[in-house]
Chain A
Amino acid sequence: MTAAEIVFVLLGVVALAAAVLVVTTRQLVRAALYLVLSFGAIAACFLVLTAELVAWVQVLIYVGAVVVLLLFGIMLTRAPIGPTSDLDSRNRPAAIVVAVATAGVLVTVLVRGFGDAYVDLGEPSTGSASGIGANIFRYWVLPFEILSVLLLAALVGAIVLSRTDIGPPKDGDG
């Protein structure tokens, strides 16, 4: 094994362990903070794979924005800050079925689609900003534009849900 592979495996272990702690800890805030650790380790994995831009996007969007959203979501609830005994849902069998099915789909897609993909770590140019940019604006323009519509819908939804004075029956346009 090369040094890069060893570092990659170690980071993967950190990411996996943190992810397990996210769902097993009894303290909600700690779950969010373990999620930071997991996302950070995944970002470092991207760095080892020379996907530089994706790694920093992971830090900016996931560690920065998504975790802040989650923390605000937790702060909106009445959940106590200490250990919670009733965090476990009664839907555990259904959750296991859904989780196994999702994992099966993801693993199948990844193995079938990228099973023999090969990244040359000696040439870190495909993961750079210009490499990603060339790919997005040459082949993936439509998903990129759809993303803006998705963000718009989510933003309008968040505004409508958070403002009790904006309702459908009131003035028609909201």
Chain B
Amino acid sequence: MHGYFGAYGLVALLLVVGAVFVTVALTANRLLRPARPTPQKLLTYECGVDPVGGGWAQSYVRYYVFTFLYVVFAVDAVFLFPWATVFAAPGFGVATLVEMFVFLGFLAVGILYAWRKGVLSWA
């Protein structure tokens, strides 16, 4: 397998092999194991004590900022890849370098704001 579609065909094949492996292993497990369920066995396992309350806990809004910082860094990283392949190519040069640093500079202002407002400290 070579070429573009061959390479990704190999990835798809690997995914299929993984799915088949998990299915076969779990099905064999189900067929071979004894099944004698009791109410205690069917209870959700929570550190050895009986589970208390529902499965839902409302989370704090301050964690949302961390996910948003992750989004910012992800978008940032995504644009670094195409930039890294072309900024040294003929016809790009210093201007392209400066453009990326302007982009990073705007994002850095955001990080700086988050840092100055104490969002990044955990306490």
B82 to A, closest residue via Cβ: A133
B11 nearest CB neighbor, chain A only: A47
Which one of A60-68, A89-97, A99-107 is at the interface? A60-68
Interface range on chain A (Cβ under 8 Å from partner): 35 or more
A72 in contact (CB, < 8 A): yes
CA of A77 to CA of B115 in the docked complex: distance in angstroms? 26
Does chain A have a CB within 8 A of B39? no
A83 within 8 A of partner (CB): no
Q: Is the CB of A155 within 8 A of B113?
A: yes
- Segment among A12-20, A30-38, A157-165 that sits at the interface with chain B: A157-165
For chain B, the count of residues having a C-beta within 8 Å of the partner chain is: 48
Taking a contact as CB atoms under 8 Å apart, the answer to whether B75 and A151 are in contact is yes
Q: Which of A57, A128, A155 contacts B68 (CB 8 A)?
A: A155
| A78 to B58 alpha-carbon distance, docked (Å) | 6
Of A136, A149, A154, the residue contacting B79 (CB under 8 A) is A136
Q: In the complex the two chains form, what is the Cα distance from A128 to B4 in whole Å?
A: 11
**Cβ contact within 8 Å between B75 and A174:** no
User: What per-residue 1/0 map shows which CB atoms of B86-123 lie under 8 Å from chain A?
Assistant: 11010110001001001111110110011001010000
A60 touches B78 (CB 8 A): yes
Query: Using Cβ atoms and an 8 Å threshold, which residues of chain A touch B54?
Result: 80-81
> Quick one: closest B residue to A7, CB to CB?
B12
Q: Indicate whether A137 sits within 8 Å of B92 (C-beta atoms), given known contacts A65-B71, A76-B64.
A: yes
B65:A159 contact, CB within 8 angstroms:
yes
Contact A77:B58 (CB < 8 A) given known A53-B82, A155-B113: yes
